[in-house]
């Protein structure tokens, strides 16, 4: 049983807004980042997306324009718990996914997403794990090969192997 996990930080949001943080929208650069990441992820076989309920993560998902083999949008589950959720909480949500889903994308926020990515990368790529922990800009994502069922990730990093880190061009 092998799974693929993508952990993505939302694309660049407006830095100042008259609305609450959860309602901040993507900046024009963020919209472009989402389109670019979508082109990179288009043929990766993503079957399900777990996405924070914030406006900027929703817009990131929409901007990725991910489609399944049938041409329909990849199913998404919006979760309030992923808005500013900790690495542990994100890990718990991932562990609840059924094993018939072989490729999963989680779109969330810092520090939860980079912390979890760093934790999962530590055993297979400790130097890259440190870089992830220090520099995970907007629209960055990691790809992991998971050699265990999703439920095993609830309390263990075993079976997770870092395959790739993608940071957007011109990331700050």
Longest dimension (CA), the chain: 47
In a domain, 172, yes or no: no
C-alpha span between 90 and 170 (Å, rounded):
28
In a domain, 90, yes or no: yes
**Residue 18: CATH number of its domain:** 3.40.50.1240
Closest by Cα among 47, 26, 44 to 35: 26
Count CB neighbours of 12 within 10 A.
23
- Give the pLDDT of residue 170: 63
Which run of H or of E encompasses 50? strand 48-52
More confident position, 27 or 17: 27
Closest by Cα among 80, 91, 49, 86 to 67: 49
Number of compact structural domains in the chain: 1
- Give the pLDDT of residue 45: 96
How is residue 46 written in tokens?
């993503």
- Give the pLDDT of residue 25: 95
Does 171 have pLDDT greater than 70? no
Give the predicted TM-score (pTM) of the model.
0.96
In a domain, 46, yes or no: yes
In a domain, 136, yes or no: yes
Q: What is the mean pLDDT of the chain?
A: 95
In a domain, 71, yes or no: yes
In a domain, 171, yes or no: no
How is residue 31 written in tokens?
């919209």
Of the given ranges (36-45, 49-58, 70-79, 151-160), which has the lowest mean pLDDT?
151-160
- Give the pLDDT of residue 37: 97
C-alpha span between 19 and 106 (Å, rounded):
25
Which run of H or of E encompasses 91? helix 87-95
| CA 76 from centre of chain | 12
In a domain, 38, yes or no: yes
The residue range of the domain holding 104 is 3-166
In a domain, 130, yes or no: yes
Instruction: Report the relative pairing of strands 103-108 and 48-52 from DSSP bridges.
Output: parallel
């Amino acid at each position: 049983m092998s799974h693929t996990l993508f952990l993505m930080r939302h694309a660049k949001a407006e830095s100042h807004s008259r609305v609450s943080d959860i309602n901040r929208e993507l900046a024009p650069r963020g919209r472009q980042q989402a389109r670019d990441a979508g082109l990179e992820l288009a043929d990766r076989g993503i079957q399900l997306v777990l996405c924070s309920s914030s406006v900027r993560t929703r817009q990131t998902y929409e901007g990725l324009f991910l489609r399944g083999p049938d041409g329909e949008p990849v199913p998404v589950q919006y979760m309030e718990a992923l808005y500013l959720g900790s690495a542990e909480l994100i890990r718990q949500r991932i562990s609840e996914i059924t094993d018939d889903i072989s490729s999963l994308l989680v779109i969330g926020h810092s520090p939860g997403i980079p912390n979890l990515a760093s934790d999962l990368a530590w055993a297979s790529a400790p130097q890259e794990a440190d870089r992830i922990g220090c520099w995970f800009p907007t629209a960055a994502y990691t790809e992991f090969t998971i050699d265990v069922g999703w439920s095993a990730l609830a309390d263990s990093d075993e079976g997770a192997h870092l395959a790739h880190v993608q940071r957007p061009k011109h990331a700050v």
